[in-house]
Every structure is written in structure tokens, then in C-alpha cells.
Structure 1
Amino acid sequence: MFNSIKSKFITIYFLLMLICISIVGSLIINRLESQQIQNISDNINNNLNNMSGASAYMYNSNWKSQKFQFENTLDDWPLSQGEAIYAIVDSTDYPLILASSTSGASAGDKSALSSKSIEPDLVLKALSGEEGDKITTNKNTNQKEKHVAKPVLSSDGDVNGVLYMTADLSSVYKVIDYAKIVLSAATALALGITIVLGYILASSITVPIRDLTKKASKMAEGDFNQKFEVKSDDEIGKLGSMFNYLTEELDSTINQVNLEKSKLNTIFNYMAEGVIAVDREGFLLHANPIARNILSLDEEYFYKKQDLTKLNIFDINYYDDSTLEGETKVDIKDSFYKIKYAPYKKEDGKNSGLIVVLQDITKEHKLDLMRKEFVANVSHELKTPITTIKSYSETILESPLDKDDVHHFVSIINRENNRMGRLVSDLLQLSNLDYNSSNWNYEEIDTYFAINEILEVLSVLIEEKHQNIELDIPMDIKDIFADRHALEQVLMNIISNAIKYSDDSSTIKISATSNYFNVKIVVEDHGIGIPEEDIDRIFERFYRVEKSRSRAQGGTGLGLSIARELILSMNGDIKLESKLNEGTKVTLTFETA
């Protein structure tokens, strides 16, 4: 019952009103009773004073001789209903009722101490010279009465007798009882009204609170579209206004948090690096798609303990921050990864687990290997001609040679020098292409003329190998929009390779087509071809299918790399298809003019 604020409020309000009314009613009843009794007491005292002052014989010390006068006076004295007066005189044996306003007491033959209508203690007290009053219950009528005993003194201060008056208080207590009934009825009515008003007042407080509670409960379930209707400017209204403000701010904050969470999830899921999170026990908590693919994880791996040693992470101590941050590298499924890890912490600063980031550095690793290989290749390519030049130069200087030998040695030195020159020239050209420092001069170039010009330059080599060049170029072929020198280099490299690596008396087919956007030139031979495993690396710098083959042909190993860089720089493309011992097909794509 008292679990409800409404019941508590009504009960307290009811008890408070009951206590207040009870206190006020008691005070009123007591005051009314005292006032009524005081009025009767004042009336008795007035009657006794008037009687004692109205008759001179009362000051006569011998009241017994004045009995007749006392009886007449008392009989004629105007008294209200329920009032009675007695004249009592002291005698040798006991006080006697000398006269009375009632017919029930005979003069001189009734003891005042044995009368049921008189209180003996008041009589004795009055005979001793003191006034006395008392409220007592009449033994005959069982009604409350007011008794007052007043001594009548002589001139020398002796007690002549006692005037004793009684007054019935039943009318007073009838009034008191009626007042109690009225007050009880008023109390019941007031309490009833109190309960109704308390219910209304409590409802005005509890209904908004209950409404707030329901809305807060819905908010706890995730529904933040709650609005409290403010109907007053009191504390409840202010609470409702604050609730609405809180709802708006919370909704805004949640939306902001959700937005940030969405951003983080998007970053987490689409970032290039793999990310996993494990707790202090090593159980997997999170893993983005990249990490799941790298580590071959599925949903069953979540909340399972992970072995971090496979990521080269050892001896984790969550109480020592120095062991929780680090970087290592690992080889996983033919890919090379840099592993970085660091702890994530609670608000109290305690470590809760590890965040591990797997960064794919396979390309960088390969580039590093290629750089080392490139340096080794350059060193090797330069070392051979330098050694040759040095050895022949020393021979010329130190040995007596005839003219023919000197000429032969000098020609070898010149050949090797030219070889180094070509190598340095090719390296400088690649460097310019890498740093975009080439100054292209684009122009419209006739496609047939460009191909035919290269064939004329290579005609001696073609005739030496007795090869047949088959051209398939339509008359309406579109012009190429490119740098003339770069175009010649590309065509020279591709066509010369087809001639060099094709057998004698073989046929090399050169065809060209065009459309609105580009011109395609296809060079197809039936030479020695390229193994399938080498095709993906054929455009790498210094890469050779057979190390000795290019050197025997006088190549630097940079021709295809330069051709590819040149054609890509002119917004073109190059594709190579080849089968070992069957031939090679190279497709060049250029922009049209």
C-alpha cells in the first residue's frame, strides 16, 4: 500500500488533517466546557453574594433563631432549573441543614454531612472560614453538578453559617455532547474532503511522475522520441521541461555517437590494414574483414583464445606497459606484413587488452628486394664492360702489339664503352620518367610512316636474318598523337626485340587498327617466346628471362621497362602475350590525333 507516493501522500495528508482537527476540536470542547462551567460558577457566586448581602439577619450569629426567615428567603429566591440553595449552620454534634430551596431537606433535622445532595468536605471547609467549589456527580440523579460553599462571617470574623448552592450541569454537557457530535460530523466531512483533495493533489504530482517514469522506461529501451507535456510552472513543470531538454540533448548526443560509431565502423571495415582486438585473456573480440581474410578467420573464431605468437608477439604482460607496445614483421600466405600492437585501456587506466594492426608491406618488401636486385644488376652490368676496358687497356699499355691487334683491342674497348653509354642513357631516361621531368612535344604522327621509318632503320638486321615483315595497315588509319622521339623509342624496342628473338627466315607480322579514341599496333612474331612464369616480371628493370640471352644480343635489360614507362606517360598502354617456343604478341595502344 505504501509503495505508492500517492497512498503515502494521502495517508500523511489525512493524518495531518486528523491531528489538526483533533487538537482544534479538543481545544474548542475544553474551552466551551470551561466557559459554560465558569458561567454557572459566576451565576452561583452572584446568587450567594446577593443573598448574603440582601438579608441582615444572616449576619446574626444565631442562625437557628432565624430559621423562618431563611426558609422564606430561600423559597422566594429566583433560581434557575436545576439549582438549589442550602443554609447550613454548625451545631454541637454535626452541621445541620437549617433551610433549603428544595423540599427534600427539613430544617434542623437533617445532617449536612449525611445528605446525598451536599459534599461534606465543602461544608467543613466553609465552616472553617474558606470558600470551596467542586464538580461532582449527584448520587440520586447520577448527573454532574457544580457545588459552591460560601461561609457567612460576622462582623468580628466568626462563621455564622454556610450558604451552599448546587447547579445541575447536565445542560452544559448536553451542549458539549452536541458540540462533539457537530465537531465529529465536521471532522468526518473535512477528512472526506481531505481524502478527495489529497487524491487530486497527489494525482497532480504522481500522474506526471508516472508519465515521466514511462517515458524514461521507453528511453531506456532506446526510444528517444519522448516528449513530456508541461502543464504548469511549478517544480513538476520544471522537471518536465528539464526532461524534454535532457531528451533532446541525449537524442542529439546518441545520434552524434552513432554517427561517430558509424564512421569508426566504416573506417574499421574499409581500412587497408587488418585490425584485431583481443582481451587480457587473449580472446578475440573484434576483427575487420581484412584481418579475417589475412588470418583466415570466420565467425566461430570470435570469443576464442588466439595464439599471438604466430604474429611474432611474445611475452605479453598486461601489468607492464613496456611489453604491450611493439612492432614486428611476419610472413603470412606469401605476403609480408608489418605488425604493430598497443594496449587499450579502461577509464581507470588499467590495460584491457591489445589492438593489433597488420599492415601489408608486400609491395614495399618486393620493391626493397627489387632495389637490391637493381643495384646488383647495375653493378654487374657496369662491372663487365669496365673490367673488359681495363684489361684491354692494360694489355695495350703494357704489351708490344702490332697495329692490327691494337685496332682489335680498341674496337672492343669502344664496343664496351658504347654498351656503358647505352646503359647510363637508359638509366637517365628511366630517372626522368620516374620524376616526370621529361618534356614531351606532342604532335600528330602518321602511323604508317612511323612504323615504316623504324623498319628502314632495322632493315640491315632484317636482311641479315633473312626475315619477312608482313604489314597489315589500312589506308585510312588514324594518326597517332604522341611525342615523336618517345614513339620511335617504343616502336624501335618492340620491333627490334621481335627481330632479335625470332629465328632466321621467320615472319614478323605488324598490324594496326584505329577507332575514334585510339590506335592499336600489334607486333607478332614466332620466335623463342617467354615462359609463363616470367611474363608478370618481364617489364621489371634488368629482368631477363635468360641472363645470358640479352647480353649476347647487346641489351641492357631496360628496353621493355623504358618502353612501358614511355607509353604509359603518353596515356597509352602495352600488353604482352607469349608462349615458350611459339612466339610473342605485343599490343601497343596510343591516343589518336
Structure 2
Amino acid sequence: MFNSIKYRFITIYFLLVLVCISIVGAFIVNRLEFQQIQNITDNMSQSLTSITNTSHYMSSSDWKEQSFQFENTFESWQLPSGEVIYAIDASEPPVIIASSNRNKNIHGQNALSFKATDPSLVLKGLSGEEANATISNEDSDKREKHIVKPIFTSEGNVNGILYMTSQLSPVYQIIDYAKVILGYATALALLVTIILGYILANSITEPIRDLTSKASKMAKGDFSQKFEVKSDDEIGQLGSMFNYLTEELNTTINQMNLEKSKLNTIFNYMAEGVIAVDRQGFLIHANPIARQILILGDNYLYKKIDLTELNISNINYYDDSTLEGENKIEIDDNFYKVKYAPYKREDNANLGLIVVLQDITNEHKLDMMRKEFVANVSHELKTPITTIKSYSETLLESSLEEEEVNHFISIINRENNRMERIVADLLQLSNIDYGNSNWHIEEIDTYSAIGETLESLSLLIDEKNLSIKLDIPMDIKDIFADKHALNQILMNIISNAVKYSNADGKINISATSNHFNVNIKVQDNGIGIPEEDLNRIFERFYRVEKSRSRSMGGTGLGLSIAKELIDAMGGDIKIQSQLKEGTTVTLTFKAA
């Protein structure tokens, strides 16, 4: 029960009131007793003084001879019940000569051994000193007030003493009654104290219990709790602070949940794989990309992973220099850049590693293509340069006939033109890559564009005795494109069809249009393209049959240029081919 602050509060309140009432009651009883006894003492002293002042014989006569007068004087005063006066002379030993109760049996008794008198007070009175004392009767357990007053002769000697006693029973009856009243008052006050203490304690503990209940719900995750503030005291201030704490905590939790949601979204949808491992190498987090790369499955948590498989070794969690780095690995023909760093506790202690897997397969392929591109460019330029160098050295070092000189110069000019075409194509590709092409988009007649291209290739077509079939409707829509780019695209595609068609072969060129596009299809029955080369056909300097392509004067950049140009103008190019059966190229342009 005393574990409750309410009952402890009531107990303390009860004890406090009890102690206070006890102290006040003791003080009141003590003062009442003192005051009552003091009043009796004063009355006794006044009575003795009055008797002395009105009885002059007491100081001038022999007391033993005046005992009858003493008794008459005492009787005339009619002392209250319970008060007795004794006249004791100053003889040796002092004897009682008279008393107010007219008891003749006590006359002549020694005052020092008389039960009703106190020897010490008698001696003080005989010595000329007024004195008083409260005397307890050992036999009857009653208390009396004794007072002694010396009577002096005219010469200043003690003639005798008046010894007066008074019963204190009425005083202690009043005191006992006062104690009873105080007892009842104390009991009533304590009862009221318990009731008021219970009400007061409830007014304090009820809000505390309410706060405790709401705090318990908050601990379980319900942050919508509100405390009703009913006062401006400490409890009210505590409630206000609780409400403020709830709002701040709710805001903080919402912000944390929002940040957590953001982080989860980032981790789940980022292109890189991210894993987190503890110091023992157990997985504690992996985003979907990482699970896909490492084939972890759904039950990946706390699965032990071998970091050496990620090319991470020599890990020492007490040496930060071993916990950061990057490397490259290959997994299932894919290449990844692995970066790792530690995550720490608040005291800066290393708890584990964060590992990021960045897919660099495309970059790796691009790097390989770049190296191959450089090798191809070098090879393409090396052949004409070598030819030009050898023929020019021959011209410089040998005496040749004019006919031979002209032949050598024509070869040098041909190889120079070849290098010029390669450089021009490379510059054009570079301009397309960097967006430096100045397009002039206009409406171009589809039939005229195809006809001009065929006219430019007429000599080569006639040389190979090719059959050209056109299937172009009269209402074909115009092409919306740059004229120079369109001519170059058509020239590259149709010239390839002419170059790689066998003698006496056939080339079909058809065109269709709709509201959005113009489609041109170029179909030949030439040598075709192997299936394994189709996915690389648009790479720069890529050749299916390198020796034959080079002998036909190609640079290996025609399809790359056509692809870049048509893509830049919002069109598309598709190639279908079968080896030794022919190739079909479909060009899609925007319709005017």
C-alpha cells in the first residue's frame, strides 16, 4: 500500500497534523495547569496577606497564648473548601498552635513532622522567607499547593509562620477534562485530515496516473496522447510539457519515418547494389540490386558472406586504413566496381562494412570498344599512310618513266582521298556526338531524295548490272529532315546494298507513310550478314568481312554515321539479314 504516493502522502499529512496537534495540546495543557496553579497561589498569597494585615496581634503577642484568636480569625475568613491555614510558632521545635479546620488533635504537634506540612517550607518560613511549593501526597496520589508566610515582630524577628494548603484536585479535573476535549478534537481533526488528505492526494495522483497511462501508451508507439491541463500549478505545467514533448516526439518520429522511407526508397531503387555486414561477416542489409547481383534470395538476413569473393581482404576493424578501398570484380560476365567503407558507433568504434557494387559492364564494354576503335582507326590510317610513304620514297629515290610516275601519283592521291574520307567521317561523328551539327529541317520530297541517291550511284549500278525496283506511291508524304543528312543516310544505306550485292543482283526500294512517319525499305539479295555480327553492325569501324569491305573503298563508318544521323533527327533504323540470302534495311523518318 505504501508503494503508492497517495497513501504515503496521506500518512505524512496524518502524522504532520498529529504532531502539530500534540505539540499545541501539550502546550495548552501545560499553560492551563500553570495558570490555574498560579491563580490558586495568588489567591492563597492574597488571603495570607489580608489575614496578616487585619490581625495585628500576630506580630505583638505570644502565639501560644493567642491560639483562640487565631482560630476565630481563620473562621471569620470562611476559606474555600479544600484550603487550610496553620499557625506555627517560632519555638524550638516549631509547633502548630491553631488551624482553620479547628482540629484540636493537631495542636501542639511538631510542624516538621506533621504529615500535612512540608518541613523544607516550614524551615524556609522560620528563616524569614516566603515560599510555596506543589506537594504530591504519596498515599492518596493527590497534589496540594503549599504556601508559607513568616510573621515578623516589631524588632524584625520571626514571631511565627502562617502555613496554608490548598487542594489542586479541581485544577487537575479541569486539565483532565481539557485533555479529553483535546483528544476528541484531535480524533476529529485526524479524521478530517484523512478525508481531506485523500481528496488532496487524489487531486495530485489522479493526473499523475493519467500521465503514467498516457506515457505507457506512448511507450507502445501511440504518440497521439494528449493530457487535459486543468490548472496552472506544477501538475498543469507538467501536463503542458508532456503535451509539448508528445508533439515534438511525434514530429521527430514522423521525420525519422520520412527519412527512413526516403533512405529505403533510395536503397531499393538505386542503380548500385548496397550491402552491410557486421564484424563477423553476417549480412544485416542488402538492397534488391545487391540481392540480384549476389543471388541472395529473400532470407538473406544474418547470412554469412565471404568478403574475399568481392575481392575484399585483409580486413582489420582496429585499423581504419584496411576498411576503405575499391576494386573491380567480374560476376557472371558482368563487371562491377566494389567500394567499401566502415560504419561506426557514436564512440567511433567500427561496427562493420558498407559495400557498394556499381555495375560498370557498359563502361567496360565502352572501354573495350574505345580501345578497339583506336586500333581500327590506327589500322585504317596505317595502310594508306604506308602506301603513300612507300610510293613517295620510290618517287624520290628512283628515276622512273613519266607513265610510272603518274601511276604512283594516282595511287598516292587515291590513298590520300581515302584518308580524307576517314577523317571527314570521324569529324562528322564527333560533331554529332557533341551536338555541333547545324540542322536545317525542312520538307523533302521522298521520291526525289531516293531518285537523287540512285542517280549518284548509277555508274556502280550499271557496272554490276543490278536490277533496281522502286515501289513508291504517288501520294507518299514528304520527309521532315535535314536534306544533307537525309542524302548521306540514303547514300550510305543504298550504296551498301549496291556494294554487297552480287553481279546481276536485285535491289528493291519501297516507301510507305502514315500520319506520323515515312518508312523507306531497302532490300537486296547480296552476301548478307552473319547473325552473330548483327548486334555490332553499327559500331564504328566494325566490318563483317574486313578485307572485302576495305577493298570496296569503305571506311567502316557508314552505318555508324547513318545510325547517329537518323537518331539525331528522331528517326530509327533497323537491319534484318541472313547470310548469303540478303539484307533488308528499314529507315523511319518523321513525316512532314
The residue number in structure 2 matching 1:371 is: 370
For residues 584 and 267 of structure 1, the distance between their equivalents in structure 2, rounded to whole angstroms, comes to 46
The residue number in structure 1 matching 2:21 is: 21
The aligned amino acid for 1:273 is E
Q: Taking structure 1 as reference, are residues 332 and 119 closer, same or farther at Cα in structure 2, changes over 3 Å only?
A: same
The residue number in structure 1 matching 2:301 is: 302
The residue number in structure 2 matching 1:35 is: 35
The residue number in structure 2 matching 1:542 is: 541
Is the CA contact 1:117–1:139 (under 8 Å) kept in the aligned structure 2? no
The residue number in structure 2 matching 1:322 is: 321
Is the CA contact 1:340–1:358 (under 8 Å) kept in the aligned structure 2? yes
Deviations 1:169-224 (A, max 9, x none): 11111111111111122222222222223223333322222222222222222222
Superposition CA RMSD, Å:
2.3
For residues 453 and 139 of structure 2, the distance between their equivalents in structure 1, rounded to whole angstroms, comes to 160
The aligned amino acid for 2:273 is G
The aligned amino acid for 1:20 is C
For residues 422 and 36 of structure 1, the distance between their equivalents in structure 2, rounded to whole angstroms, comes to 141
The residue number in structure 2 matching 1:7 is: 7
Determine helix, strand or coil for the equivalent of 1:577: strand
> What TM-score do you get using the length of structure 1 for normalisation?
0.94
Determine helix, strand or coil for the equivalent of 2:257: helix
Determine helix, strand or coil for the equivalent of 1:193: helix
Answer yes or no: is 1:359 the counterpart of 2:397: no
Greater alpha carbon shift after TM alignment, 135-144 vs 423-432: 135-144
How big is the shift at 1:167? 1.1
The aligned amino acid for 1:19 is V
The residue number in structure 2 matching 1:131 is: 130
How big is the shift at 1:26? 0.8
The residue number in structure 2 matching 1:264 is: 263
Answer yes or no: is 1:451 the counterpart of 2:450: yes
The aligned amino acid for 1:533 is E
The aligned amino acid for 1:21 is I
Is the CA contact 1:147–1:164 (under 8 Å) kept in the aligned structure 2? yes
Deviations 1:394-446 (A, max 9, x none): 33444444455444433333332222222122112111211222222222122
The residue number in structure 2 matching 1:440 is: 439
The aligned amino acid for 1:13 is Y
The residue number in structure 1 matching 2:184 is: 185
The residue number in structure 2 matching 1:286 is: 285
Q: Taking structure 1 as reference, are residues 496 and 16 closer, same or farther at Cα in structure 2, changes over 3 Å only?
A: same
For residues 105 and 391 of structure 1, the distance between their equivalents in structure 2, rounded to whole angstroms, comes to 181
Is the CA contact 1:52–1:58 (under 8 Å) kept in the aligned structure 2? yes
Q: Taking structure 1 as reference, are residues 299 and 157 closer, same or farther at Cα in structure 2, changes over 3 Å only?
A: farther
The residue number in structure 2 matching 1:584 is: 583
The aligned amino acid for 1:278 is V
Determine helix, strand or coil for the equivalent of 2:96: strand
For residues 394 and 118 of structure 2, the distance between their equivalents in structure 1, rounded to whole angstroms, comes to 171
The aligned amino acid for 2:88 is I
Deviations 1:510-530 (A, max 9, x none): 221111000111122233322
How big is the shift at 1:303? 2.0
Determine helix, strand or coil for the equivalent of 1:298: coil
The residue number in structure 2 matching 1:480 is: 479
How big is the shift at 1:115? 4.3
For residues 107 and 463 of structure 1, the distance between their equivalents in structure 2, rounded to whole angstroms, comes to 183
Answer yes or no: is 1:216 the counterpart of 2:232: no
For residues 135 and 375 of structure 1, the distance between their equivalents in structure 2, rounded to whole angstroms, comes to 133
Is the CA contact 2:325–2:340 (under 8 Å) kept in the aligned structure 1? yes
Q: Taking structure 1 as reference, are residues 144 and 504 closer, same or farther at Cα in structure 2, changes over 3 Å only?
A: same
The residue number in structure 2 matching 1:84 is: 84
The residue number in structure 1 matching 2:567 is: 568
Is the CA contact 1:75–1:100 (under 8 Å) kept in the aligned structure 2? no
The aligned amino acid for 1:298 is G
How big is the shift at 1:377? 0.7
How big is the shift at 1:41? 0.7
The residue number in structure 1 matching 2:64 is: 64
How big is the shift at 1:44? 0.9
How big is the shift at 1:380? 0.6
Greater alpha carbon shift after TM alignment, 153-162 vs 560-569: 153-162
For residues 105 and 274 of structure 1, the distance between their equivalents in structure 2, rounded to whole angstroms, comes to 129
Q: Taking structure 1 as reference, are residues 148 and 105 closer, same or farther at Cα in structure 2, changes over 3 Å only?
A: farther
Deviations 1:215-243 (A, max 9, x none): 22222222222222222222222222222
How big is the shift at 1:74? 1.8
Deviations 1:228-281 (A, max 9, x none): 222222222222222222222222222223222222222222222222222233
The aligned amino acid for 1:415 is R
Deviations 1:284-309 (A, max 9, x none): 22222222222222343322333222
For residues 16 and 138 of structure 1, the distance between their equivalents in structure 2, rounded to whole angstroms, comes to 38
Structure 1: segments with no counterpart, 5+ residues: none
How big is the shift at 1:69? 1.1
How big is the shift at 1:469? 2.5
The aligned amino acid for 2:472 is I
Deviations 1:47-85 (A, max 9, x none): 112222221222245212112112222222221122122
The aligned amino acid for 1:41 is T
Determine helix, strand or coil for the equivalent of 1:301: coil
How big is the shift at 1:573? 0.7
The aligned amino acid for 1:224 is F
In the TM superposition, 1:498-537 aligns within 5 A as 498-537=497-536
For residues 318 and 349 of structure 2, the distance between their equivalents in structure 1, rounded to whole angstroms, comes to 8
For residues 78 and 578 of structure 2, the distance between their equivalents in structure 1, rounded to whole angstroms, comes to 156
Structure 2: segments with no counterpart, 5+ residues: none
Determine helix, strand or coil for the equivalent of 2:481: strand
For residues 526 and 272 of structure 2, the distance between their equivalents in structure 1, rounded to whole angstroms, comes to 44
The residue number in structure 1 matching 2:155 is: 156
How big is the shift at 1:561? 0.0
How big is the shift at 1:375? 1.3
How big is the shift at 1:348? 2.2
Greater alpha carbon shift after TM alignment, 83-92 vs 12-21: 83-92
The aligned amino acid for 2:287 is N
Is the CA contact 2:60–2:154 (under 8 Å) kept in the aligned structure 1? no
The residue number in structure 1 matching 2:430 is: 431
The residue number in structure 1 matching 2:409 is: 410
The aligned amino acid for 1:25 is G
For residues 400 and 155 of structure 1, the distance between their equivalents in structure 2, rounded to whole angstroms, comes to 190
Greater alpha carbon shift after TM alignment, 118-127 vs 431-440: 118-127
The aligned amino acid for 1:228 is F
Is the CA contact 2:526–2:583 (under 8 Å) kept in the aligned structure 1? yes
How big is the shift at 1:373? 1.2
Determine helix, strand or coil for the equivalent of 1:586: strand
Q: Taking structure 1 as reference, are residues 60 and 556 closer, same or farther at Cα in structure 2, changes over 3 Å only?
A: same
For residues 105 and 257 of structure 1, the distance between their equivalents in structure 2, rounded to whole angstroms, comes to 110
The residue number in structure 2 matching 1:52 is: 52
For residues 499 and 487 of structure 1, the distance between their equivalents in structure 2, rounded to whole angstroms, comes to 18
How big is the shift at 1:105? 4.7
Deviations 1:449-498 (A, max 9, x none): 22222223223333333333232222221111111221111112112212
Is the CA contact 1:67–1:107 (under 8 Å) kept in the aligned structure 2? no
The residue number in structure 2 matching 1:464 is: 463
Determine helix, strand or coil for the equivalent of 1:228: coil
Determine helix, strand or coil for the equivalent of 2:241: helix
The aligned amino acid for 2:233 is D
Q: Taking structure 1 as reference, are residues 98 and 398 closer, same or farther at Cα in structure 2, changes over 3 Å only?
A: same
Q: Taking structure 1 as reference, are residues 140 and 442 closer, same or farther at Cα in structure 2, changes over 3 Å only?
A: closer
The residue number in structure 1 matching 2:388 is: 389
Determine helix, strand or coil for the equivalent of 2:439: coil
Determine helix, strand or coil for the equivalent of 2:536: coil
For residues 515 and 553 of structure 2, the distance between their equivalents in structure 1, rounded to whole angstroms, comes to 39
Give runs of ≥4 in structure 1 deviating > 6 Å. none
Percent identity, please.
70
The residue number in structure 2 matching 1:343 is: 342
For residues 141 and 413 of structure 1, the distance between their equivalents in structure 2, rounded to whole angstroms, comes to 161
How big is the shift at 1:128? 4.0
For residues 5 and 279 of structure 1, the distance between their equivalents in structure 2, rounded to whole angstroms, comes to 47
The residue number in structure 2 matching 1:173 is: 172
